[in-house]
Chains A and B, each alone.
Chain A
């Protein structure tokens, strides 16, 4: 094959693959601006004839989308901030602080990584029910406040910090918490960004557990609300596309802004195999 033909073939395939990957998302955006009923016609329209924001208006004024958006933001932000603190502290301790049982505890955590989260869900529901947490934000937030994956990621990164830095501070009489806050935290900044965006995206997109734990509409996150709306409004394609845009856009924008950190984290996390 001539180099020019090869080049055309490779780039042509890439264009085709990229089109398949993003066409559904662009189509969603286009249909979300169509007036009700326009999308249920033959031939299926590609672009709205008379673009309108009516679907978004209906979602936010009548379907409570504003509330669900706030719920999602609140839950995902709380999980991200607190779990970041807990995972950072634990990951650093497992990497850099000597204590009895360090290896054994970490081995147990690594071993638990093979257990799918769903195994814990039924008793977890009962536990939270007895604690009075079912159908509160807490039911989704509290169990997510530490993750084995997060601890593992931080530990891996923190192992690269030279011990001399901490030793010198200890000789100067600094306490462990001050060392962590003033010396270690600044060095962990890249992994903090990576872990934060990973956690936020996972919390935002999470489906099965919020579906179980949030039984009342007032606490629904966007994915749960969208799933429930889509069962009621099977025919309202335009409305559902607008709902999908509201759900996807925040995480897509976040990813585009912090892409580099996300992809780095993905590669670091996959070394665990």
Chain B
């Protein structure tokens, strides 16, 4: 039929691009991860050998892999809740009938989201400069001890988390605002008549009504935060003492600095499996909660 042929013509360009440059490489990555593809194989493909699960096995024995995973999990576990609190808090402020100049505030709060990570990371590196940074100057002038933000292994990741929260909270803020606006006003009206406090209203109306939004936003943010790369690349180069080396940073170095493409593919797959397991568990837990 004519329509069916036209339809295929319509979808073919997109399918070729996605198939050739995304789906095929994903399958190839799985194959690559069971080979010893390295600089020698890059020069001459005949040097390529099948090594079964050896890449995975060796990774699990490398302390650097575990510490990279630990730093990434730290970033996700601390960064995601902080981001969501900032997003929900600002969404509730903007949604309040008492708030003024809403369009202006919404744009201002959202602005960091559209900026380029590298460029704003450069700004933060200067703001958090140990010697000349505005942040330490402010701390010092109110009599607080100054901190070697990006130079101290204990502080580098918290600084990157602060940066990520600042950069990203506006995105989920917009989604939460839509969620808040969908809550019927009568619910709050009824609660007020019953004498419920503002906190009780938040606890028993806002949070339960927002749950579907919350589940979706948490899952998307968790999978986004697992992909930590540009921030440590620009702000700390994975340091100090590798304290901000994330899983993707490890993959990048393993693959494109040392050209161990086989082992780097194994890193990518492990990250994918972890992300999938975590987000699937979150989804399942949220559904169980609904049944109960």
Measured CB to CB, the residues of A under 8 A from B are 3, 6-7, 10-11, 13-14, 17-18, 20-22, 24-25, 27-28, 31, 39-44, 85-87, 89-90, 92-94, 97-100, 102, 105, 109, 112, 114-127, 142-143, 145-148, 151, 170, 175-177, 180, 201, 204-205, 207-208, 211-212, 222-224, 226-227, 230-231, 237, 240-241, 243-244, 247-248, 251-252, 255-256, 259, 262-263, 266-267, 270, 273
Contacts of B14 in A (CB 8 A): 86-87, 89-90, 146, 151
| Contact bitstring B1-34, A, C-beta under 8 A = 1, else 0 | 0111011101101110110111111101100100
| Contacting pair B264 A201 (CB below 8 A) | no
Q: Does B53 sit at the interface, judged by CB under 8 A?
A: no
A44 to B28, CA, bound (A): 52
| Contacting pair A119 B7 (CB below 8 A) | no
A248 to chain B, nearest CB (A): 5
| Contacting pair B96 A10 (CB below 8 A) | yes
| Contacting pair B234 A25 (CB below 8 A) | no
A27 to B215, CA, bound (A): 36
Name which of A14, A18, A117 has the most chain B CB atoms within 10 A of its CB.
A14
Name which of A116, A151, A226 has the most chain B CB atoms within 10 A of its CB.
A116
A133 to B178, CA, bound (A): 43
Q: Does B69 sit at the interface, judged by CB under 8 A?
A: no
| Contacting pair B137 A10 (CB below 8 A) | no
| Contacting pair B271 A116 (CB below 8 A) | yes
| Contacting pair B100 A11 (CB below 8 A) | yes
Partner of A226, one of B109, B112, B118: B118
Name which of A7, A42, A123 has the most chain B CB atoms within 10 A of its CB.
A123
| Contacting pair A241 B107 (CB below 8 A) | no
| Contacting pair B114 A252 (CB below 8 A) | yes
| Contacting pair B268 A255 (CB below 8 A) | no
A213 to B122, CA, bound (A): 22
B270 to chain A, nearest CB (A): 10
Contacts of A28 in B (CB 8 A): 123
| Contacting pair B26 A14 (CB below 8 A) | no
Q: Does B183 sit at the interface, judged by CB under 8 A?
A: no
A42 to B136, CA, bound (A): 11
Name which of A31, A99, A201 has the most chain B CB atoms within 10 A of its CB.
A99
- Nearest 4 A/B pairs, CB to CB: A273-B216, A176-B6, A123-B28, A120-B25
A93 to chain B, nearest CB (A): 4
| Contacting pair A126 B261 (CB below 8 A) | yes
Q: Closest residue of chain A to B141, judged by CB? A: A43
Q: Closest residue of chain B to A6, judged by CB? A: B98
Given contacts A86-B13, A243-B122, contact A123 B265 (CB under 8 A): yes
Binds A, one of B59-67, B187-195, B219-227: B219-227
Inter-chain pairs besides A90-B11, A123-B24, 7 sampled, C-beta below 8 Å? A10-B96, A17-B105, A21-B166, A123-B29, A208-B248, A222-B116, A252-B115
A112 to B227, CA, bound (A): 17
| Contacting pair A93 B10 (CB below 8 A) | yes
| Contacting pair B122 A122 (CB below 8 A) | no
Q: Closest residue of chain B to A43, judged by CB? A: B137
| Contacting pair A100 B122 (CB below 8 A) | no
Partner of A240, one of B18, B111, B122, B276: B122
A-B contact pairs, 14 of them (CB 8 A): A14-B99, A17-B90, A97-B6, A99-B3, A118-B248, A120-B25, A207-B233, A222-B116, A223-B116, A240-B122, A243-B122, A244-B116, A248-B119, A255-B111
Given contacts A105-B15, A116-B271, contact A270 B21 (CB under 8 A): no
Partner of A208, one of B98, B99, B230: B230
Name which of A18, A27, A102 has the most chain B CB atoms within 10 A of its CB.
A18
Q: Closest residue of chain B to A266, judged by CB? A: B174
Contacts of A177 in B (CB 8 A): 6
Given contacts A21-B170, A251-B116, contact A90 B29 (CB under 8 A): no
Name which of A31, A127, A244 has the most chain B CB atoms within 10 A of its CB.
A244
Contacts of B28 in A (CB 8 A): 123, 126-127
Q: Closest residue of chain A to B112, judged by CB? A: A21
Partner of B107, one of A3, A42, A97, A259: A259
| Residues 68 to 127 of chain B near chain A (Cβ within 8 Å) | 90, 93-94, 96, 98-100, 104-105, 107-112, 114-120, 122-127
Given contacts A123-B32, A123-B265, A237-B132, contact A14 B94 (CB under 8 A): yes
